[in-house]
Amino acid sequence: MKKILNFINGEWCEASTGKFIPVLNPANGQVLAEVTQSSKEDVDQAVQAAKQAQKSWRLVPAPERAEMLYKVAYLLKERKEHLAQVLTSEMGKVIAEGRGEVQEAIDMAFYMAGEGRRLFGETVPSELRNKFAMSVRVPIGVAGLITPWNFPIAIASWKSLPALVAGNAVVWKPATETPMVAEEFVKIYQEAGLPKGLINLVNGSGSEVGNAMVDHPGIDLISFTGSNEVGAAINGRAGALLKKTSLEMGGKNAITVLEDADIDLAVEGILWGAFGTSGQRCTATSRVIVHEAVKDTLTEKLLSRIDELKMGNGLDESVKVGPVINRSALERIDEYVKIGQEEGAKLLTGGKIAAEEGLGSGNFYLPTIFTDVTSDMRIAKEEIFGPVVSIISVNSLEEAVEVNNSVEFGLSSAIYTADINNAFQAMRDLDTGLVYVNAGTTGAEIHLPFGGTKGTGNGHRDSGTASLDVFTEWKSIYVDYSGKLQRAQIDNY
Ligand code: UN1
């Protein structure tokens, strides 16, 4: 049986507990590997290694650090197919999406490598004569990364690459469900020649590893993507220690379809946004807000396309919808479907665990559509993280915006309209971190900030240059070359 180990101070090693947890293929329940279960002690060793390595890494010029990232980018590119296969087998997303996700990591590596020559600060005129003022970005120290199973390599790339190019060291806890692609990613860093101790991998399930990272005084910031429940717990602990956190959490994303929209285009966007990745994206479309006048047409068209969504093992190129991550996800989704029915929503299609030949041993849930949903229902408010979409009808753009904004999350929203005035009004009023016009709620590109408002996050962003704000601090520097005491705010007034 393949064993996935920790990577600490440049060495692959078993965790101190001696325990291993099985890694399952969600499409058929097959055991793919076992992953080492870490404890507090393993976290401590990783932090010590990271602290030591960061001492010299911060002194390496950023363009030179970036050269390492170019090597990472080319290795990711070379190994794209292999990485996609590994990712699909442990996470379940269909292979085309697996390739797409690896591409996101490749893009991020090239992009952040470029940023090594663009870690700009500012030169600012001083208030005083013969005095020079500037601000520079400096690394924070050791970054603790806690990443989810749904985008196991893309999200790890959004966090580790900016952390490293900015001069930090990394302690990374990947999700227990997806340690295989994490191992592959770390091997790439190793092959690219990243000095030992700069990236450390600490595997393990449960809260012990995560809590040990948050509590460890040697970890200077935590960047987390995952559930609101865990994010809030991290923030509480870290807040008490005055430790910076960057949190990326849930969504309840909606596509609005106005009267004047291209309905066929909107149908494409909804099918892809709601059922791609089996609805397991933070950006997944889980609500459709449609103008009453086009509701029936849209609903009929959606329903007529459902049979195209072939379910199965994502490694089969013809499959469109893969499994969900595990048994408990399957049960949670099913529970929400029952809640929806009890609340009075009408189940149009799906609503059950797939039982067709061959699917029974995997975690497959049928693509599910509810109509007659109102915005006060739980299925319209809470994140389901599965292939379930709720159709809500409205009578105006204003009402659509109100419904869109009525949830506690604020990650992504989309509007389909042919009217430029409606489009601009929506771009202004939809209160999410991502807004799409005539495109679905998923598919963010890595060179723009990624993140959300309200309950989705805590004001930080992954990706884009915004991610450098997470992994650096500003240092303001004043150089007085007057040769005399100049009292600021006094001698110049
Ligand atoms: C996520 O689900 O956490 O925008 C990330 C998208 C992808 C990333 C999703 N590029 O859908």
Condensed to tens digits (0 to 9), the pLDDT of residues 190-234 reads: 999 999 999 999 999 989 999 999 999 999 999 999 999 999 999
Residue 256 predicted with pLDDT over 90: yes
User: Ligand 1 centre from 229 Cα, in Å?
Assistant: 19
Cα-Cα end-to-end distance for the chain: 75
Burial of 459 (C-beta count, 10 Å sphere; 0-12/13-18/19+) = exposed
Residue 451 near residue 461 (C-beta atoms within 8 A)? yes
Distance CA 92, CA 404 (A): 30
User: What pLDDT score does 240 carry?
Assistant: 96
Rounded alpha-carbon distances, angstroms, from residue 493 to 10, 128, 486: 57, 10, 11
How would residue 328 be classed by pLDDT, with cut points 50, 70 and 90?
very high
Residue with CA nearest ligand 1 atom 2: 281
Q: Is the pLDDT of residue 421 over 90?
A: yes
Report which ligand 1 atom has the smallest distance to the Cα of 281.
2
Mutate to test the pocket of ligand 1, among 450, 461, 462, 463 (most ligand atoms within 8 A of CB): 450
Query: From the CA of 281, how far away is ligand 1's center (Å)?
Result: 6
Separation between Cα atoms, residue 393 and residue 399, nearest integer Å:
9
Look at residue 492 in the predicted model and tell me its pLDDT: 83
Could you count the other beta carbons within 10 Å of the beta carbon of residue 479? 10
Take residue 238 and report the two structure tokens written for it: 């870290």
Sign (positive or negative) of CA dihedral 379, 385, 388, 391: positive
CA distances for 265 relative to 257, 260, 268, 370, angstroms: 10, 12, 5, 20
- Per-residue pLDDT averaged across 176-186, rounded? 98
100 Cβ below 6 A of ligand 1: no
pTM: 0.98
Residues in contact with 357: Cβ distance below 8 Å, sequence separation at least 6, in sequence order: none
Mean pLDDT of 432-457: 98
Residue 444 Cβ contacting ligand 1 at under 6 Å: yes
Q: How far apart are CA 285 and CA 383, in angstroms?
A: 10
pLDDT of 25 > 90? The answer is yes
**R_g of the chain computed on alpha carbons:** 24
The predicted model gives 429-438 an average pLDDT of: 98
Question: Whole-angstrom Cα distance, residue 413 to residue 432?
Answer: 6
Nearest to 147 by CA among 195, 219, 213: 213
Q: What pLDDT does 66 receive?
A: 98
Q: What are phi and psi of 345, to 5 degrees?
A: -75, 155
Distance between Cα 262 and ligand 1 center (Å) = 25
163, pLDDT greater than 90: yes
Domains of the chain plus CATH, in order, are 3-249+457-477 (3.40.605.10), 253-437 (3.40.309.10)
**Predicted pLDDT of residue 366:** 97
Atom number in ligand 1 closest to CA 450: 4
pLDDT over threshold 80, residue 467 = yes
Q: What CA–CA distance (Å, rounded) separates 83 from 185?
A: 9
Q: How far is the CA of 443 from the centre of ligand 1 (A)?
A: 6
Q: Is the distance from the beta carbon of residue 280 to the nearest atom of ligand 1 less than 6 Å?
A: no
Report the share of the chain in percent with pLDDT over 90: 98
CA of residue 368 to ligand 1 center, whole Å: 21
Confidence of residue 136 (pLDDT cuts 50, 70, 90): very high
CA distance 330 to 366: 10
Residue 161 has pLDDT above 90, yes or no: yes
- pLDDT-derived band at 445 (thresholds 50, 70, 90) equals very high
Joined tokens for residue 167: 């001069």
314 with 95: CB under 8 angstroms? Answer: yes
> Best of 283, 285, 385, 450 to mutate for ligand 1, by most ligand atoms within 8 A of CB?
283
Query: Per-residue pLDDT tens for 32-52?
Result: 999 999 999 999 999 999 999
CA 297 to chain CA centroid, Å, is 34
- In short, whether 151's Cβ falls inside 6 Å of ligand 1 is yes
Alpha helices for 116-178 (secondary structure H): 154-165
Q: Atom 3 of ligand 1 has which residue's CA nearest to it?
A: 282
From residue 1, how far is each of 30, 38, 237, 370, 460 by CA, in Å? 12, 19, 37, 43, 40
76 pLDDT above the threshold of 90: yes
The type of residue at 369 is: I
Distance 150 CA to ligand 1 centre (A): 9
- Ligand 1 pocket, 463 CB below 6 A? no
* pLDDT tens track for 89-111: 999 999 999 999 999 999 999 99
Kindly state if the Cβ of 156 falls inside 6 Å of ligand 1: no
Ligand 1 pocket residue status of 436, Cβ below 6 Å: no
Q: Is 159 in the pocket of ligand 1 (CB under 6 A)?
A: no
Mean pLDDT value across residues 172-183: 98
User: Residue 339: which pLDDT band, with cuts at 50, 70 and 90?
Assistant: very high
Bridge-based pairing of strands 409-410 and 453-454 is antiparallel
Q: Which residues are catalytic?
A: 248
CB 299 within 8 A of CB 391: yes
Phi, psi of 422 (to 5 degrees): -60, -40
Alpha carbons 296 and 29: distance in angstroms, whole number = 39
Given a cut of 80, whether residue 358 has pLDDT beyond it is no
> Looking at 350-394, which runs of residues are DSSP E strands?
368-371, 388-394
Q: How confident is the model at residue 68, as a pLDDT?
A: 97
pLDDT tens digits along 273-307: 999 999 999 999 999 999 999 999 999 999 999 99
The pLDDT mean for the chain works out to: 97
Q: Is the pLDDT of residue 8 over 90?
A: yes
Sheet holding 388-394, edge to edge: 346-349, 368-371, 388-394, 285-291, 253-257, 412-416, 434-437
If pLDDT is split at 50, 70 and 90, which confidence band does 361 have? confident
Tell me, in angstroms, the distance from the centre of ligand 1 to residue 164's CA.
22
Q: Which of 228, 278, 281, 447 to mutate to test the pocket of ligand 1 (most atoms within 8 A of CB)?
A: 281
What's the pLDDT band for 493 if we cut at 50, 70, 90? confident
- Determine whether the shortest distance from the Cβ of 283 to ligand 1 is under 6 A: yes
Ligand 1 centroid to 102 CA: how many Å?
Answer: 12
